[in-house]
Amino acid sequence: MSELRRTQKDIKGTYVTKGTVPFVTYVPFMSLERREFIRQGFAAGLLGLGALGSLGALGTLVGCSKVAAPAATAPAATTATAAPAAPAAQRWGLVIDPALLVKTQAFNAVAQACHSHHNVPQISDPKTEVKWIWQDDFAHCFEEMDSAYLPAALRELQFPVLCNHCENPVCVRVCPTQATFKRDDGIVDMDYHRCIGCRFCMTSCPYGARSLNFCDPQPYIAQVDPGYPTRMRGVVEKCNFCVERLAQGLPPHCVEASQGAILYGDLDDPASEVRQALAGSLSIRRRPELGTEPSVYYLLRGAESPTDAPKGGEPHA
């Protein structure tokens, strides 16, 4: 009940379409509480608190979209009721096994799933492209660890890179409008409707994880997925750890498409799959010396050895 009252209070100051469709068409200035509301609203809806809560929450999210929303809510809502309760986490993290990803050749499927479901425009110009997840080699991803005599296998290995959902995110620190914010569960998320496009976050992110929509992205989206809002020109975007999927109790798209090479879970829970994987192998993170505490880990499970990669089979296949 208190949650319901909270939602009513928080919804003040936004436009809600008159009539029967309970979704917010225009959310000019979301406050932090509103994001809390989105999250709680999601959880409430999924826990079966009622169709209204669920639709309202989904609608809020879809409201950020230019896409026709009513059609969008329907399938999402059905998934929502069918899905199990969203698992909670103290700090979501990813553990990536790059060697396994090469072996399963799943990376293209991973990028494809992520980008198509999040309506990421496919722009070919590397200067203005928008990307949430892509690959690069060891020497470029881990410049400070590079050496001339690395095993050839490691040298040639491709590493998926994305937003690290830093524990101390610089992007959140510098954002002048809190359009980029860190959730209690550790995910660094964005409010595309609040972003003014100042690009301070792009300047400050030490991982190059952020992209600006240098022009209208719509023409570069082959097929709009109604399950996630599209963006407009002039706003920044990046990986969102599939918050919309987590809220439905589903794994992130990259995890699902990776055939076991990308694990997700609670880094604060010693029993979690990610912690088990980290306990069993050497792992590295990008630029840990900067104190940002990335939540994305890369396993080097003997994969760097040219003979038999990876050792110990595929425990999480």
Partner 1 sequence: MLEKALRGSKRYYLWLAILAVLIAVGAAAYTRQLTYGLGLTGMSRDVPWGLYIAQFTFLVGVAASGVMVVIPHYLHNFRAFGRMVILGEFLAVAAVIMAILFVFVDLGQPTRVLNVLLHPTPHSIMFWDICVLGAYLLVNIVIGWAVLGAEKKGFPPPRWTRILTILSIPLAISIHTVTAFLYAGLPGKAYWLSAIMAARFLASAFASGPALLIILSLIIRRFTSFKVTDLAVDALVKIVCYAMIANVFFFLLEVFTSFYSAIPSHQASLRYLFVGLDGSGGLVPLMWVAAVLALAGITLLLVPRLRRNLRLLPVSLVAIFVACWLDKGVGLVLGGFVPNAFGRVTDYLPTANELLIICGVYALGLFILTILYKIVIAVRTTNEEELSKTDS
Query: Binding residues for partner 1, per CB under 8 A?
Result: 29, 31, 126-129, 136, 139-141, 143-144, 170, 173-179, 194-200, 202-209, 211-216, 232-236, 287, 290-292
User: ω into residue 251 within 30 of 0, thus cis?
Assistant: no
Radius of gyration of the chain from Cα atoms?
A: 20
- Overall size of the chain counted in residues: 317
Q: How far is the CB of 85 from ligand SF4 (least distance, A)?
A: 27
**Please, what is the minimum distance in Å from the beta carbon of residue 263 to partner 1?**
24
DSSP letters spanning 224-291: --TTS----TT-EE---TTHHHHTTT---HHHHHTTTSEEEEETT-TTSHHHHHHHTS-EE-SSGGGS
Name the minimum Å distance from CB 302 to ligand SF4.
Answer: 27
**Shortest distance (Å) from residue 74 CB to ligand SF4:** 32
Of 192, 175, 177, 273, nearest in space to 240 by CA:
192
- In angstroms, the CA 215 to CA 51 distance is 37
From ligand SF4, partner 1, none, which one binds at residue 163 (CB under 5 to 8 Å depending on kind)? ligand SF4
Q: Residue 197: name its binding partner from partner 1, ligand SF4, none (Cβ under 5 to 8 Å by kind).
A: partner 1
**Token reading at 100:** 């396994």
CA-to-CA dists, residue 56 to 11, 183, 209, angstroms: 10, 20, 31
234 contacts which partner out of partner 1, ligand SF4, none, CB within 5 to 8 A by kind?
partner 1
Spatial distance between the Cα atoms of 238 and 232, rounded to a whole number of angstroms: 14
| Shortest distance (Å) from residue 239 CB to ligand SF4 | 7
Which of partner 1, ligand SF4, none lies near 128, with the C-beta cut-off 5 to 8 A by kind?
A: partner 1
Chain residues binding ligand SF4 by CB under 6 A are: 163-166, 169-171, 188, 205, 207, 209-210, 238, 292
| Residue number with CB closer to ligand SF4 (118 or 165) | 165
